[in-house]
Amino acid sequence: MILTVTLNTALDITYRVPTLRPHASHRVTEVTERPGGKGLNVARVLAALGHEVTVTGFAGGVTGEVVREGLGGVRGVADALVPVAGTTRRTVAVVDERTGDTTQLNEPGPAVAPTEWDAFQDVYADLLAGASAVALCGSLPPGVPVGAYAGLVRTARAAGVPVLLDTSGEPLRRGVAARPDLIKPNAEELAELTGSHEPLRATQAARRRGARSVVASLGAEGLLAVTPEGRWRAAPHARVRGNPTGAGDSAVAGLLSGLVENLPWPDRLARAVALSAAAVPAPVAGEFDRAAYEELLGRGVAVTAESDAA
């Protein structure tokens, strides 16, 4: 089983409006909602690839109930979310039908009490016993200590479970110092972590800060991987048009999937790039276009070794 952790799960709401105009009143023409948060999106992609996945993190209140109901309908995903007294946050994505652009509003999340955080850590430690890998994903809700991911990385390492960390800011900085097996920052997160805007230099700096391997996601330029086994760049041959929301979560799923199958790095990266690009035509995070994925995996991704000269 692969474990994904989403401490700040969300009910992702999408509103379509004819045109978004600040300070005006809008009739929403279409409302959709689904379970959200990075780790839940990663889990859906892993399940679609045929992996058994367990999700944990926090869920509470009426939105937490809706999230859990929604998860109940996803085959291959087991719900091990821990209850909280507070209410799971909503995120609202407002899609302008004229331009296709999205404006995002993210609630901060429930205040997590120290006893709830303790209860989660116990559940997490128990779940690790059956896990082949774990992914720690996304932002921290209020009340969870900023060093939370560092502690969760250490627990996973002590249990001998490979751990991937996908977060940003201070939680990423502290988590990296606890020596996770893999981080997957985007260019902005990597620059914030290391102070360098030059991707290869920044990726190497992130390894020196503690990450065993770093796979940086560089948007249309694909992935840059710096690992103890070597360095690679991986990118699709052609750009894919659509909505990039969820491409990062799909890449994480591809890396985890390749990891538990012990694929060589170039194959892991090809899978991650193919999944990431196949997420772009899909309307929502956590989904991908299977035909596009299989075509990309066949011959649509270039993986090239990077020289040591940098």
Which residue type does 73 have?
A: G
Q: Residue 14: what are its φ and ψ, rounded to 5°?
A: -115, 125
Rule CB under 8 A: is residue 66 a binding residue for its own copies?
Answer: yes
| CA–CA separation, 60 and 142 (whole Å) | 14
Query: DSSP labels for 71-107?
Result: HHTSTTEEE-PEE-SS--EEEEEEEETTT--EEEEE-
Q: Closest approach of Cβ 258 to its own copies, in Å? A: 29
Beta strands 182-183 and 102-106, pairing class: unpaired
| CA–CA separation, 21 and 27 (whole Å) | 12
Rule CB under 8 A: is residue 177 a binding residue for its own copies?
Answer: no
DSSP 3-state of 15: strand
Question: Candidates 91-99, 142-150, 258-266, 296-304 — which segment interacts with its own copies by CB under 8 A?
Answer: 91-99
Member of 52, 103, 188, 237 binding its own copies (CB under 8 A): 103
Q: Closest approach of Cβ 88 to its own copies, in Å? A: 12
Question: Candidates 22-30, 127-135, 192-200, 267-275 — which segment interacts with its own copies by CB under 8 A?
Answer: 22-30
Residue with Cβ nearer its own copies (67 or 206): 67
Contact status, residue 289 vs residue 282, Cβ threshold 8 Å: yes
Rule CB under 8 A: is residue 267 a binding residue for its own copies?
Answer: no
Member of 52, 97, 101, 221 binding its own copies (CB under 8 A): 101
Rule CB under 8 A: is residue 73 a binding residue for its own copies?
Answer: no
Residue with Cβ nearer its own copies (111 or 263): 111
| CA–CA separation, 266 and 73 (whole Å) | 34
Rule CB under 8 A: is residue 187 a binding residue for its own copies?
Answer: no
Rule CB under 8 A: is residue 241 a binding residue for its own copies?
Answer: no
- Residues linked to residue 273 through DSSP beta bridges, in sequence order: none
Q: How far is CA 81 from CA 1, 2, 37, 236, in A?
A: 15, 15, 12, 35
Question: Candidates 63-71, 140-148, 172-180, 246-254 — which segment interacts with its own copies by CB under 8 A?
Answer: 63-71
What residues are annotated to the active site?
249
Q: In 3D, which of 275, 269, 224 has the Cα closest to residue 247?
A: 275
Rule CB under 8 A: is residue 32 a binding residue for its own copies?
Answer: no
Member of 1, 70, 102, 267 binding its own copies (CB under 8 A): 102
Give the footprint of its own copies on this chain (CB under 8 A): 15, 17, 20-29, 31, 62-63, 65-66, 92, 94, 96, 99, 101-108
